[in-house]
Chain A
Amino acid sequence: MPEEFLVDVDTLRTQVREKYRDVALDPHGTHHFHTGRPLAARLGYEQAAVDSLPDQAVESFAGVGNPFSLRPLEPGEHVVDVGSGAGFDSFIAATQIGPTGSVVGIDMTSEMLTKSRDTAEQLNFGHVEFREGLAEALPVESGWADVVISNGVINLCADKQAVFAEIFRVLRPGGVLQFADIANGQPVPLEAMHDVDLWTG
């Protein structure tokens, strides 16, 4: 394992995939975090926007904050959603930017991609697409995005500097990164930071 990372990158990715595969396939199962519509309400999403989406778009939502709370998106914007999961934030973005904009969701978990693509088709959202990829290697052209959003994903990446560098690359000059994530107010002991199980649990 490279010394600069606290945990093994591949081991962490495998555990994250397993965790979020469960969230995709069994969203109402037992998870250590809230999910779905109750979580969206807790995080302050606009009720009418959430209500407009079908259960399949919302039930596997497992974000940690509201990436739209500091800045609503503008019509026509090009948006990249890093770690799009089952697509909830991508669909909220799609409603804000309208049909003249475009959303590209990126996720590494095949069950999430299957679900988000199916929902986009159901919603007839032709301006939303989902691509398989990693946060550290986004399958997006340099400078394409006006906005990058993400929700509860970067904390699950071992190499955060690589993630921010990729986001910087895909944003156009003047573009905006608006994301939600967790932060701790008390220091975490070093042994806990090396425990990969605590990263996902």
Chain B
Amino acid sequence: MLEDSGFKHVTIGPAVDTFGGAIGEVNARSFEVYGYAFLARRV
């Protein structure tokens, strides 16, 4: 989707266990939901 919008050089960082230990952990685990950092450039 980023590249569809015209962004280039997309980088994605490692997964972070954003919801571990929180109430939302159950839903997050069900669908393997993690947080990520993204970097992209408008060329």
Which A positions have Cβ atoms within 8 angstroms of B?
Answer: 30-34, 42-44, 63-67, 69-71, 152, 160-161, 164-165, 167-168, 171-188, 198, 201
Contacts and interface: CB of A to CB of B under 8 A. Distances in A.
A125 B43 CA distance: 31
A58 B19 CA distance: 18
Contact of A161 (B5, B32, B33): B5
Nearest to B38: A179
Contact of A69 (B6, B13, B40): B13
**Nearest 10 CB-CB pairings of A with B:** A185-B32, A32-B24, A65-B35, A164-B5, A64-B35, A184-B31, A32-B23, A70-B39, A171-B42, A64-B18
Interface of B: 1-2, 4-7, 11, 13, 16-24, 27, 30-43
A181 B42 contact: no
Contact of B41 (A42, A177, A188): A177
Contacts of B20: 42
Given A186-B31, A198-B27, A178 B2 contact: no
Nearest to B32: A185
A165 B32 CA distance: 28
Nearest to B41: A176
A175 B13 contact: no
Given A184-B32, A185-B32, A161 B38 contact: no
Given A174-B42, A174-B43, A179 B37 contact: yes
B36 A176 contact: no
A164 B37 CA distance: 15
B13 A65 contact: yes
A184 B43 CA distance: 28
A34 B22 contact: yes
A176 B38 CA distance: 10
Nearest to A32: B24
A44 B16 contact: yes
Contacts of B7: 164, 168, 177
A184 B36 CA distance: 10
Contacts of A175: 41-42
A177 B38 contact: yes
